[in-house]
Structure 1
Amino acid sequence: MLVSEHPVAAARRSATGLWSLVIAGVLWGTGGPTGSLLAHETGLSPLAVAAYRLAAGGILVLIWLGLTRQPLPRGRHAWARLVVNGLLAAVFQACFFAAVSVTNVSLATLLTIGASPALVLSAERITRRRRIGASMLATVALAVSGLALLVGTPADGITTKDALTGAGLALFSAAGFAAITVIGTRPVAGLDDLAGTGVSFAIGAAVLAPAATVTSSMDFVPTPAAVGLLLLLGIAPTAMAYALYFRGLRTTAASTAALIALLEPLVATLLATLFLGDRLSSTGLVGAGLITIAIVLNTRSTPH
């Protein structure tokens, strides 16, 4: 006999899921500045930084699971999900940093993060035959417009060929993130959020590390600053953020989660302004305001 969940408990779970997504978005925003500082400190390529990010996050989670004696994921379906998430994480990270290398951070971020909500909405419409309301479409348009203003106009000097190549890579990256988001809304028995994050990232790192070794190098001098930045990158915007994101996906629509993920470039821009010397223009301030409004409108319209 099926017992329906009490409305108060359901509302509490929904609110917890939304806050998990919000905290994940904020933590993701620390990833760009931290990764930039790590690359500056070590001289590592963007692909190597991505590989180390997944490796550090995955290993730290697995160590924590061992110390606390928590069980690893079990069951064929759980491990199938882990392999898929690991491969998607590798594609998402590799394509994004490849897009950055042929264009710049602004254009790659705009296309990747901006395209993700639209791809998620399309996937929900096709796979679940879910009707997308005018308010949701308007919110997505508002958020993407705000992101475009926040990121700004890409720098000159990018050739048409590089722009098209970068755009294709960024869209592949967006598709990888969108796929992780849509798949993550379907729970799998025997798969804990934290354990799943650790194992998936270990798989993703195993895929990216050889590519980084061949194309550049994985070597760096382990100074205290470099090790500290690597640990910070592995803990906050990787292990903790993705575990919270997957937890939030259990009770929140994928389209809502994708929009809340826009907190990443917003927080990253604010941190870069405060600590890395970047200057936020008046246009950027307007864009930040539009993103904030879109996120607030989206979360307020989500059933609690």
Structure 2
Amino acid sequence: MTPETRPRDFALVALGGVLWGTGGLAGAALADTAGLPPLTVAAYRLLGGGGVLLVGLAAAGALRGLARTRPVVRRVVQTAVLAAVYQAAYFAAVQRAGVAVATLVALGAAPLLVAVGTAVSARRLPSPRTLVALGLALTGLVLLVGPSEAAGPGTAAGALLALVAAAAFATMTGLNRRSVPGLGPLPLTATSFTLGGILLLPVAALAGPGLALPVGVEGWVLLAYLAVVPTAAAYSAYFTGLRHVPATTAALLALLEPLTATVGAVVLRDERLGVAGVLGATLLAAAVVVLRPRRAGSPTMDAPGRAAGHLSRSDAARARSANMSGVVRASDPREGPAPR
């Protein structure tokens, strides 16, 4: 069943994208002040974000009822591995191909992969609004990031790693569209990200000069911000809203990350945004407007006509007529099982 998109859930997923954008600014500042390698920052970010949530949930007694069933453990481990792969592959792509190529491939391919996966599983094309939003968002992303530098020997390998990152994020989005009984969005984020950070620690130690720590108060404040705001808060909002937002829509809303980062760089770091960048930012914003729910309880953009599982008045009348007459027309695809 495809749930209905509620404005609150749409806003939560969008909030996640916006908060991720502030993480880019904080990460850049942390690299400038503390000199930490990107992979080390990613490991600390996951470990810190998950740890903060774990402590908060434990203090509130919210972990006492956490189910320890096989589906819960499997979902936590799957999400942890996907989060670690996404972070590791993306930062490795940045080191080999540069920020522009890594951002274009990783963030641009993710909604395309989700859209293709959704179309294959649902056996139908995305709705026209989703296709329009895809076109606007991807064009806007290209214009916003701008042309990359000349291709070097590591560009192909970097692009491939960015595609791995996109696949990991797309899979994580599709996986967590359906909840597991006994595992809410906050416990999921807390446990999976703590585990993901633990998995990344040895990778960061082997890939760089070691697991250095921030020096000075400013470095620790920036690292704490990375853990709390663009990690713990952002992913909690994203996973919470994801339960009632189509996967393709959620992946597109994640493109608010580069938009927010660009606006923040212009305001806080005095960077300039050219005509192409302004146009790209406008197109990304337009994609969000196209995707937004028209009203509370409106059908999702991936389910044109009406949300799956909800009968129209004419369908309901036919179903009542069939029940009263004792006739079951199972061959009619418009009539499914009676609602529970």
Determine the C-alpha separation between the residues in 2 that align with 1:250 and 1:133.
19
Q: Give the letter aligned to residue 203 of structure 2.
A: A
Determine the C-alpha separation between the residues in 1 that align with 2:129 and 2:19.
28
Q: Normalization by structure 2: what TM-score?
A: 0.83
Determine the C-alpha separation between the residues in 2 that align with 1:27 and 1:276.
17
Deviation at 1:213, TM superposition (A): 0.7
Moved more, 137-146 or 91-100: 137-146
Tell me, yes or no, if the aligned pair for 2:97 and 2:156 is still in contact at 8 Å.
Answer: no
Tell me, yes or no, if the aligned pair for 2:7 and 2:292 is still in contact at 8 Å.
Answer: no
Report the 3-state secondary structure (helix = DSSP H, G, I; strand = E; otherwise coil) of the residue aligned with 1:30: helix
Q: Specify every segment of 5 or more residues in structure 2 that has no aligned partner in the other structure, as ranges.
A: 301-340
Who is 1:5 aligned against? none
RMSD: 1.6
Who is 2:299 aligned against? 303
Who is 1:70 aligned against? 62
Who is 2:180 aligned against? 188
Tell me, yes or no, if the aligned pair for 2:89 and 2:165 is still in contact at 8 Å.
Answer: yes
1:117 aligns with 2:111: yes
1:23 aligns with 2:19: no
Determine the C-alpha separation between the residues in 2 that align with 1:146 and 1:47.
28
Deviation at 1:221, TM superposition (A): 4.1
Q: Where do 1:190-229 residues align within 5 Å?
A: 190-216=182-208, 217-229=210-222
Deviation at 1:153, TM superposition (A): 0.8
In the superposition, relative to structure 1, how do residues 111 and 84 fare at CA in structure 2: closer, same or farther (>3 Å)? Answer: same
When Rg is computed on C-alpha atoms for both structures, the one with the higher figure is 2
Tell me, yes or no, if the aligned pair for 1:256 and 1:299 is still in contact at 8 Å.
Answer: no
The structure 1 residue matched to 2:131, chosen from 128, 137, 142, is: 137
Determine the C-alpha separation between the residues in 1 that align with 2:89 and 2:250.
21
Over the matched positions of the two proteins, sequence identity in percent amounts to 40
Who is 2:260 aligned against? 267
Tell me, yes or no, if the aligned pair for 2:83 and 2:196 is still in contact at 8 Å.
Answer: yes
More helix by share: 1
Who is 1:84 aligned against? 78
Deviation at 1:19, TM superposition (A): 1.0
Tell me, yes or no, if the aligned pair for 2:13 and 2:237 is still in contact at 8 Å.
Answer: yes
Deviation at 1:197, TM superposition (A): 0.2
Determine the C-alpha separation between the residues in 1 that align with 2:266 and 2:130.
30
CA shift digits 1:93-147 (9 cap, x unpaired): 0000000001111221111111111000111112232432343223201110000
The structure 2 residue matched to 1:33, chosen from 25, 30, 33, is: 25
Q: Give the letter aligned to residue 131 of structure 2.
A: L
Q: Specify every segment of 5 or more residues in structure 1 that has no aligned partner in the other structure, as ranges.
A: 1-9
**Deviating 4+ runs (over 3 angstroms):** none
1:277 aligns with 2:270: yes
Moved more, 133-142 or 165-174: 133-142
Q: Give the letter aligned to residue 49 of structure 1.
A: V
